[in-house]
Amino acid sequence: MAAVQWHSRVRAYESELRAARLEAVPLEPGDPHPLKSITVTDSKSRRGGGRRGSTSSSSSSGSVAPDPLSSMLDGTDPLSMFAAASASEAPTLSHTFFRSASYVKEEEVGPDFEPWSAKRGEILARFTTTEKLSINLFMGSDKGKAPSPNSTVSEKVRNRLEELDDMEEGSQRELLNLSQQDYVNRIEELNQNLKEAWSSDQKVKALKIVIQCSKLLSDTSVIQFYPSKFVLITDILDTFGRLVYERIWSMCSDSRAMPESFTADDVNDTAKETCLNWFFKIASIRELIPRLYPWQLGCTCHIFIGIQETLPRLTAMIRGIGDPLVAVYARAYLCRVGMEVAPHLKESLKKNFFDLLASFRQIHSDSVQNQLVLQRVEIPVYLTLYSPAINWILQCVSYRAPETLLTEMMERCKKLANNALLLNSVMWAFRAEFVAARATDFIGMIKDCDEAGFPKHLLFGSLGRSLACADPPENERLSILNEAWKVITKVRSPQVSTMDISIAQIKFVDFTKREVNTVLADIIKHMTPDRAFEDAYPQLQSVIRKILNYFHDFSVLFSMERFLPFLDMFQKDSVRVDVCRSIMEVFIKHQQEPTRDPVILNALLHVCKTMHDSVNALTLEDEKRSLSLLINGFIRMVSFGRDFEQQLSFCVEARATFCNLEPVLVQLIHTVNQLAMETRRVMRGNHSRKTAAFVRACAAYSFITIPSLTSIFSRLNLYLLSGQVALANQCLSQADAFFKAAVSLLPEVPRSITVEGKLRSSEAFLLDFISNFLSTLLVVPDHPEQGVLYLVRGLLNMVQDYTWEENSDAKVRVYISALPLLAAMSQDTYLYAIPKVDSNETLYGGDPKFLAEVNKLCETLIGQVLDHLKALGRDEGAGVRKQGTLAFSLFGCLLAHGDLRNNKLSQLAVNLWNLSHKHGYCDTRNSVRTLEYIKHQSQQPDMAHLSEMALRLSLQSRA
């Protein structure tokens, strides 16, 4: 230790800065500019038009450089390549009912078409019953056993025909008094029986189950449950259709590969014969409905023999069904199959709908009316049973249909005296843009509808849904609202209040504050009785979104008398938070200037408090982070100008309001620090007593708030930042308190911390903080009542006592990092300073005692590093590698900051160089550059002593 003598090199910072500046090199006219667009030459092999191995090159100049990742993959991203490879391994089916969605051609049925599977759950949940149900189960017989392998073809045919006759002659069992859940269980049992019969090669038995299930679709004894029954039974039919299709498809797997979009001409004779055999079996069924549904399933297999004539034939067959409810669901199923196997055959879909219109008068027939009286079902309830089927049929018909088709549909509805049920389905099915453009016409048709079967308010609700998605003509918007409101004001039942909400979604862009306030008042009037708003949260949220889309002036928005009472209707916590989130997102996006409007501030404080209060111990970190971002966006937009005291009061209130969200508290501390710096800037150095008191108040705010943070590195960094702000405002005692708090906190730093959900070592974060702290300490003057360099010594003592990771070099790296600071403190003029703050350069004025203390501390640190290097040398493995790295780091520090004219210090530098190269672990390139730098510096004035040292430095490598 005594052999080490430190002498800091005298630095001339201004001349060093001038020498380090880059030279300006004039640009010749022909020289390329680094920001000029890149010319890319793309060479790709052609698949034809030339001999093998030839390439075609094309050059193009553009403003965008090529993506290196894309170019490596020849323009194809890895996910697309993987998807293509996966698709190539699977059989490609075209126009098939049971194919994967990835095989659907976009020009036929795309992702914008809502599939039946999305509607299935809604139907089952909506159409339920408490009535008792019945079901016929096929009992089977010995004739249903699989035929012997030695049977002749004629015997197999005879056996199968006998099995079908056996089923029709009464080998069934009727189960009565089933609950809805029992019924569902029995249907699932039938589905399982179907799969078992098929897997055991009892194909005719499987067909019997399908026929039996199809018969159930003619039963409307519990009419309110019929839509759900249809869903459950068609699930079984789908299973059967998939099994038949896969059987026939397997027969197509011969030596010829089936094309992606195959036709009947591509199918072999075996598959065609099997397909026809199934159709012959189905054709032998006597009853219409048990024959019709399996035949519709057969449409999926008609691809193998041709389908052009099948759909029209089945459409005509449905005309023979007498019950209109059974008929409409049969048409819905046919449209479903048609959209899957042949969506291009639009005429068949339209024909189904027009046949439906022609038979719609059957609803008022005596047989239907008698059935409704017998089951005590009102006509409005009965009409709702048609909605899923009609909506589905119209969705299929209107999918990517031209606007002229809507005109045709409207004319058809008028001929039926504007049947409300059909009119409602039309408005739901067609594109919102088409409906909105004809909003006035639809209102006229709605007014002419008979309200007995389908209430008009539901029609206005459907119209409002379209108007919420698309703009009606500008000159019609107000009249549309007025016409709708004439109906709304007559409605008193809270159950229908969703209608006026839907109408309220008409674009607000042309409405005044008064008109929107009137709309909200009426919604509140309808939704408040019996807490009807609890059943209409989605619609209420939609109204909020529409208002926020067109009212970006929040002073106008919050001054609406009914807006805040409207928000109070969101009583459910999760929904309430979502609404508040929507408001804050729009505010942050559209609020261009900071605000001090008390109306906005009070309202948004309430909104943000609602979000904050939703946080509890179970709230996910992502949710906390999301809410904090929104609240912080609000805080950043609050400004009271030069009324700094009012701004600080707002921060005090916000701290009490948002105490559970740490990122918000961090933002508030940053805001207060910015406020203190802004005060200093505005006062332009006129540091009056009032200004000093305010800055001290800001410092007190930060000093009180920082300890409440749980993240220790947030506390450390904010202590450092707040101390720097206090120092910049000449509040030396406050700055001293912040720095001492940071030093005292260091022993509490854990050895590992959680970063983005992962446990990581805290060592790198701690070293980064200490490095920043050391840079600040250069300009911090010593306290008059403390010793020399008391903050530096306190920091280094904490580093010495801290429990570092085992075999860690972090402590020694801190010691090496402290040497440049101490060397800078030895200069007559410091590298940087704070205006009106006297640093140690002024306080000590180059006092020899002060310099001696600095040098002594440097020698102590160097001694600690050398002791550590000796200890590392005892380890022949990883120790010598670390030894070389640390030795080279200390050498660089001596070279940059030490006075190498001192022989002992120069000899130490040479020894460190040799030690770093002793085992060959030093970076050769870095060593070469360092040696070149030393030789270059030796040519500078007062640096000639480096030339002698350069001769003593040699490059070594590990043998």
DSSP string, 856-924: HHHHHHHHHHHHHHHHHHT-TTHHHHHHHHHHHHHHHHHHHHB-TTSHHHHHHHHHHHHHHHTTS-S-H
Calculate ∠ Cα 602-604-609, nearest 5°: 95
Cα–Cα dist 63/37, whole Å = 5
Q: Are 831 and 845 contacting, i.e. CB atoms less than 8 angstroms apart?
A: no
Range with the lowest mean pLDDT among 79-83, 242-246, 316-320, 721-725?
79-83
Q: What is the pLDDT of residue 37?
A: 53
Amino acid at 793: R
Cα–Cα dist 719/714, whole Å = 8
Environment class of residue 562 by beta-carbon count within 10 Å: exposed (0-12), middle (13-18) or buried (19+)?
A: middle
User: How far from 71 is each of 36, 53, 95, 344, CA to CA, in Å?
Assistant: 20, 20, 36, 39
* Residues comprising the chain, all counted: 959
Most confident of the following: 284-293, 475-484, 636-645, 910-919: 636-645
SS3 sequence of 164-187: HHHHHCCCEEEEEEECHHHHHHHH
Pairing of strands 172-178, 133-138: antiparallel
* Partner residues linked to 135 by β-bridges: 175
Helix axes 537-550, 513-527, angle to 10 degrees: 170
Helix axes 537-550, 497-504, angle to 10 degrees: 20
Residue-averaged pLDDT of the chain: 80
Most confident of the following: 406-410, 449-453, 725-729: 725-729
Backbone angles phi, psi at 452, to 5 degrees: -65, -40
- Higher pLDDT among residues 188 and 700, named by residue: 700
SS3 sequence of 141-167: CHHHCCCCCCCCHHHHHHHHHHHHHHH
User: How far from 35 is each of 30, 42, 610, 890, CA to CA, in Å?
Assistant: 14, 21, 50, 40
How big, in percent rounded to 5, are the helix, strand and coil portions of the chain?
A: 65, 5, 30
Q: Say yes or no to pLDDT of 516 above 70.
A: yes
Q: What is the pLDDT of residue 139?
A: 46
Q: What is the DSSP letter of 806?
A: T
Calculate ∠ Cα 308-272-93, nearest 5°: 70
Q: Say yes or no to pLDDT of 149 above 70.
A: no
Most confident of the following: 43-57, 390-404, 807-821: 807-821
User: How far from 583 is each of 61, 410, 537, 765, 827, CA to CA, in Å?
Assistant: 46, 39, 16, 37, 57
Q: What is the pLDDT of residue 488?
A: 61
Q: Is 189 left (phi over 0), alpha (psi -120 to 50) or beta?
A: alpha
Assign 257 a pLDDT band (cuts: 50, 70, 90).
Answer: low
Q: Which of 555, 703, 518, 554 is nearest to 503 (CA)?
A: 518
Range with the lowest mean pLDDT among 392-396, 534-538, 588-592, 811-815?
534-538
Q: What is the DSSP letter of 899?
A: -
Give 554-609 pLDDT, tens digit per residue.
Answer: 999 998 999 999 999 999 999 999 999 999 999 999 998 999 999 999 999 999 99
Q: Are 189 and 235 contacting, i.e. CB atoms less than 8 angstroms apart?
A: no
Query: Which whole number is the average pLDDT over 43-72?
Result: 41
Q: Say yes or no to pLDDT of 915 above 80.
A: yes
Cα–Cα dist 217/196, whole Å = 23
Q: Say yes or no to pLDDT of 77 above 70.
A: no
Q: What is the DSSP letter of 638?
A: B
Cα–Cα dist 404/384, whole Å = 28
Give 778-837 pLDDT, tens digit per residue.
Answer: 999 998 888 889 999 999 999 999 999 888 899 999 999 999 999 999 998 899 999 888
Cα–Cα dist 66/38, whole Å = 9
Q: What is the pLDDT of residue 407?
A: 87
Query: Which whole number is the average pLDDT over 269-285?
Result: 73
Q: What is the pLDDT of residue 244?
A: 79
Give 409-451 pLDDT, tens digit per residue.
Answer: 888 788 776 678 888 888 888 888 888 888 888 888 888 877 6
- Higher pLDDT among residues 958 and 245, named by residue: 245
Query: Which whole number is the average pLDDT over 667-684?
Result: 88
Assign 887 a pLDDT band (cuts: 50, 70, 90).
Answer: very high
Q: Give me the percent of the chain exceeding a pLDDT of 90.
A: 30
How many other CB atoms sit within 10 Å of the CB of residue 221?
13
Tokens standing for 157? Answer: 């045919």
Calculate ∠ Cα 743-882-886, nearest 5°: 60
Q: Which of 612, 602, 690, 683 is nearest to 650 (CA)?
A: 602
Most confident of the following: 38-42, 231-235, 272-276: 231-235
* Partner residues linked to 679 by β-bridges: none
> Which pTM value belongs to this model?
0.65
Q: Give me the percent of the chain exceeding a pLDDT of 70.
A: 79
Cβ contacts of residue 721 below 8 Å, gap of 6+? 670, 673
Q: Are 60 and 40 contacting, i.e. CB atoms less than 8 angstroms apart?
A: yes
With b for 16 or more beta-carbon neighbours within 10 A and e for fewer, the 516-541 pattern comes to: bbebbebbbbbbeeeebbeebbebbb
Helix axes 732-745, 790-801, angle to 10 degrees: 10
Amino acid at 542: S
Assign 207 a pLDDT band (cuts: 50, 70, 90).
Answer: confident
Place of tokens 């943000």: 608
Place of tokens 């067909």: 207
Cα–Cα dist 673/679, whole Å = 10
Q: Which of 341, 189, 349 is nearest to 261 (CA)?
A: 341
Q: Which of 377, 373, 372, 363 is nearest to 323 (CA)?
A: 363
Assign 948 a pLDDT band (cuts: 50, 70, 90).
Answer: confident
Give 292-343 pLDDT, tens digit per residue.
Answer: 888 776 555 555 555 566 778 888 888 888 899 999 999 999 888 888 777 7
- Higher pLDDT among residues 771 and 484, named by residue: 771
State in Å, rounded, how far the first CA of the chain is from the last one: 33
Range with the lowest mean pLDDT among 718-732, 787-801, 908-922?
908-922
Q: What is the pLDDT of residue 868?
A: 92
Q: Say yes or no to pLDDT of 135 above 70.
A: yes
Helix axes 203-216, 269-283, angle to 10 degrees: 40
